[in-house]
Amino acid sequence: MRFVDEAVITVEAGNGGNGVASFRREKFVPFGGPDGGDGGRGGSVYVQADENTSTLVDFRYTRKFRAERAKNGRGANCAGRGGENTVLLVPVGTTIVDTESGDIIGDLIASGQSVLVAAGGDGGLGNTHFKSSTNRSPRKCTHGIKGEYREIRLELKVLADVGLLGMPNAGKSTFIRAVSAAKPKVADYPFTTMVPNLGVVDADSHRSFVMADIPGLIEGASDGAGLGIRFLKHLARTRILLHIVDVQPIDGSDPAYNAKAIAAELEKFSPTLAQLPVVLVLNKVDQLADDTRDEWCQHILDELKWEGPVFKTSGLTFEGTKDVVYYLMDQIEQQHELEAEDPEYAAKVKAFRDQLEAETREQTLAAKEAYRLMRRQQRLEGILGDDDEDEDEDSDGDDGDMEVFYVR
C-alpha cells in the first residue's frame, strides 16, 4: 500500500433547500391560507478517525468532496428532506488544518472521533413564516443558505510512545522486530526503511506501549540529504526517543561522530523535539569481540560525554532488548501517573506538546517549500528533464509505490 502522510483536499457542504410559497387549496375552503414548507438542511462534511485506515493515499487521487444538497419544501407544510452527510475516514493521529487561516480544525487521536469541517446550509423558510394580521396571504419565501466551502490539509502523525532515531542501517528495524510483532523490511543496505512502521511492544501481560520506526537520518538531512527530515514529524507525539547507535558501522565510520550528527540534525529540525528524553542504545554489540566490547562501548560514551540512560543490545540475538523494554515501560507509566496526579505538570506537558506540534508543522512546511524551490531551480538549470518535472509536480513530495507495515 502506498504510504501518504499529507494531503490537501477541498470540502463543500450541501446547500440548504429552498422554502416555497404555497397556499392551501381544498373544497369548501376558499381562503385556506399559506402552507409552504421549509427547505431541508444541507448535508455536512465530517472527518472521522478509523483504526482500520493507515494512510491518506485515497485523498491523493480524489481531492474534492461534496455533501448532498437538501430538498426544497413543498405545500401542505411539508419540509424538504435534509441532505446526506459525507464522512471521510482517516487514520488515527490525523490533524486537520485550514489552509487559508492556518488554524487547526481538529486533532483526531482516538478511533471513532470525528470533527465537523464543513457545515451544511440552513433551509429556506416557507411562506407560512411570513403570515401576519396584516398580510394573510404572503407570497414571500426564502432560499436555502449555501453550504460551507473549505480547503483543508490532512496531516498524519503516527501515535507512538517511543520513537526510534538513528543512522540508516543502525539496526532500528531489526530492533523493533525483536521487541514487537512488527515485521518491517530488513536488509544490509541504507534506507531499507522508507516509511514509518509501528509495533506494539508487550512488556508484561496488560503492560504495553507503541514504538515507531522511521527512516534513518544522515548528516545534512536538514538540507535535503537522504530522505531529508520529512519523517521527523512522526516523532512529535512520542514521549521518549530511543537513539540507536551502530557500534561498528559497515562503512567504517565513527559511531560517536554519527550519534553527534543525528543529535545536530534533530536540533536543527526542532529544538523542542530535541528536548524529549533520549535513551541511548549501543546496538550490534554481538559484532564486537568479548574482550574489547566494554572498552569500545565506553570509548563511544566518553566521546559523546553521555550521562543519560544507556543500554547495550543486539537486535539480531535479542541480547539486552528486554532490559530496554522494561525501562521504557516504567518511564512511560511514571509519566502517565504524574500527569494524572499533578494538574500543573499535566498543563506543562500539554503546553510542551502544543509547542512541539506547531514547531514541527512549521518546519515540515518550510522543508517542503525549500524542496520545491530546489527542484524548480534544477529544472531551470536543465538538470532535470521534462519527465522529472511532470513526476515532481504530480508527486508533490510523495514517496512513490512503497509499502507500509502497521502492526498494532
At the topology level of CATH, where does 1-156 sit? Spo0b-associated Gtp-binding Protein; Chain: A, (2.70.210)
β partners of residue 29 = 26
Pairing of strands 149-156, 94-98: antiparallel
Q: Give the pLDDT of residue 223.
A: 58
Cα first-last separation, the chain: 16
- H/E element holding 226? none
364-395 per-position pLDDT tens digit: 777 777 767 777 887 787 765 555 544 444 44
pLDDT (0 to 100) of residue 229: 62
Residue 184 predicted with pLDDT over 90: no
Residue-wise pLDDT for 94-114, tens only, equals 999 998 888 889 989 888 999
User: Cα separation of 143 and 404, whole Å?
Assistant: 48
Residue 114: its pLDDT value, please? 94
- Separation of alpha carbons 167 and 29, rounded Å: 86
CB pairs under 8 A, 24+ apart, for 27-33? 31/136, 31/137, 33/131, 33/136, 33/137
Gap between the Cα atoms of 352 and 342, Å rounded: 15
The CATH architecture annotation of domain 162-395 reads: 3-Layer(aba) Sandwich (3.40)
User: For the residues of 254-299, what is the DSSP string, one character each?
Assistant: -HHHHHHHHHHHHHHH-TTGGGS-EEEEEE-GGGS-HHHHHHHHHH
Looking at the chain, the domain(s) classified CATH 2.70.210.12 span: 1-156
Angle at 160 between CA 159 and CA 165, to 5 degrees: 120
CB-CB neighbours of 135 under 10 Å: 12
In whole angstroms, give the CA distance from residue 316 to residue 27: 90
Report which residue type is found at 216. G
pTM of the entire predicted model: 0.68
Q: What is the identity of the amino acid at 232?
A: L
Q: 200, 149 in Cβ contact below 8 A? A: no
Residues 33-68 pLDDT 10s = 899 999 999 999 999 999 888 788 888 888 999 999
Report the percentage of the chain scoring pLDDT > 90.
40
Task: Tell me how far apart the alpha carbons of residues 72 and 38 are, in angstroms, rounded to a whole number.
Answer: 7
Per-residue 3-state assignment (H helix, E strand, C coil) for 328-357: HHHHHHHHHHHHHHCHHHHHHHHHHHHHHH
Task: Band the pLDDT of 80: cuts 50, 70, 90.
Answer: very high
Residue 1 pLDDT = 44
Using the predicted structure, report yes or no on whether residue 221 has a pLDDT greater than 70.
no
Alpha-carbon distance of 258 to 217, in angstroms, equals 10
- Tell me where in the chain the CATH 3.40.50.300 domain(s) lie: 162-395
When the pLDDT of each residue in the chain is averaged and rounded to a whole number, the result is 83
Query: Between the CA atoms of 85, 91, 93 and 98, what dihedral angle is there, to the nearest 10 degrees?
Result: -50
Closest residue by Cα to residue 228 from 277, 187, 268, 171: 268
pLDDT at residue 53, as a whole number: 83
What is the arithmetic mean of pLDDT over 187-208? 67
* Residue 163, φ and ψ in degrees, nearest 5: -115, 135
Q: What's the burial of 188, exposed, middle or buried (CB within 10 Å: 0-12/13-18/19+)?
A: exposed
Determine contact, residues 37/77, Cβ cutoff 8 Å. yes
